[in-house]
Chains A and B, each alone.
Chain A
Amino acid sequence: MKNITVKYGVDSISKQVEDDFTFGDLQQSDTFKAALGFGDRTKALLEGIEQDRNIEIPSGATVRLETAANTKA
C-alpha cells in the first residue's frame, strides 16, 4: 500500500491505495469522485505536468486534478 494526496480545487484528500494504483485508476475511482466531486473528464497533474493514465502514482505524491475541456458538440 502507498499513501497519496489528491487535490481538486480547494478540497483535498489523503488516502492509502494499492501499490499499482495508476493516475487512470484515480480518475475513474468512485471513492475519490465522491469525496472530491470531480466528474468523468479530468486530467491529472504532478508538479504541474500532465500525467499519462497508465502511469503508477508515486508513493507520497500529491496529485492535482483539473477539469478537462470538452470540444464543441
Chain B
Amino acid sequence: MKPASLTGSGLSLFTMETTEIVIKENGTLTERIIRERDLNAEQSVLDALTDEMTRTSRHVLSIPGWGVAHANVGAIDTIWSVPIKQLPLNARFRLINGVLVPMFASGTDVEMPLVWQAPEEVRLVFVVRTIREDDYIKVAGNWLFARDRENRTYRLPLPNLHDDCLVCTGDFKDRFETAAECIGASLEQFRKSKWNADLMRTVAQSQKFFRFRPTNDTFETLPCQAEDWTKLCDKVCTAISERIVL
C-alpha cells in the first residue's frame, strides 16, 4: 500500500492528536487518528526496557603491574577487560628434546613458575565480572580469552579453564569496596595460582602451544608449534566474550 495522506492536527492539554486521511490504492478514503501523550514511566519500567543494554568505556582503570582495564557496563553487572601480554604458568614442566613443555598432570616433574610471553598475533584478555551488592562490589567470575586479529575468540589449550573460558580460580577474597580492588585481587589470584590437571583435555596441544627454551639465566618463550595458533585452540562465543573490550 502506498498511501497519500492529508494531515490536520489538534492539541489538547494532555495529548497531541493527529488526523490523517489516507487514500488507499483501491480508492477508499480512510481516516486515521493518532494520539500521542508523554508517559510518566517509572524507573522500573525504564530499567526493564534497558535491561540488556550495555555501554562500553575504554581505559577506565589502571591496574598496577598489569595495565589498563576497559569496561562494559550493564544494568546488573560490569565486565572488565584487562589485555595481558604474558601468562604466568606455575606448573610442572619436562625437558623434551631441549624444549621445556608443561606436564600439568604430572606428580614428579619439576614445578616452575614460568612466564609465557604471548606473540603479537595472540591477543590475551583477562576478564573480571563484578556485581554491585548493597555495600560492596563482588567478583562474579574470571575468564581468560585469546583473540585473533579478526576478533574471533578462542579458548587456550590449558587446564583449569571451562569450555566457556571461565577460570577455575579456587577460593579467594572476592568482596571489596571498589571494582579496582576486585580486578586487582582476581589478577593476583590468577598470577599466583598453580595450573593442575583439573578440566584437562589433551596435554599434546598445550605442549605445542606453551614451549620454552632454557638459556643461561632465564627461559625463553618459543613460538607455537603450529602454522596457525588458532588450530591448537577452541573457538568460543559466549555472552561474556561478546562484551570484551580491547
Contact = CB atoms under 8 A, between A and B. Distances in A.
Interface of A: 8-11, 36-39, 41, 48, 65-73
Given A39-B234, A70-B162, A73-B198, A9 B168 contact: no
Contact of B163 (A11, A37, A68): A68
B24 interface: no
Interface in B147-205: 150-153, 155, 162-164, 166, 168, 198-200
Contacts of A37: 152, 235
Given A9-B152, A72-B198, A73-B199, A67 B236 contact: yes
Interface residue tally on B, bucketed by range: 20 to 34
A36 to B, nearest CB: 8
Nearest to A45: B239
Give the top 4 A-B pairs by smallest Cβ distance, nearest first: A9-B237, A37-B235, A69-B164, A67-B236
Contacts of A69: 162-164, 166, 238
A49 to B, nearest CB: 11
Give the interface centre of A9, A69, A71 by most chain B CB atoms within 10 Å.
A9
A66 B241 CA distance: 10
A65 B52 contact: no
B238 A67 contact: yes
B199 A38 contact: no
B162 A9 contact: no
A8 B242 CA distance: 10
Interface in B100-157: 150-153, 155
B168 A72 contact: yes
A39 B237 CA distance: 11
B199 A66 contact: no
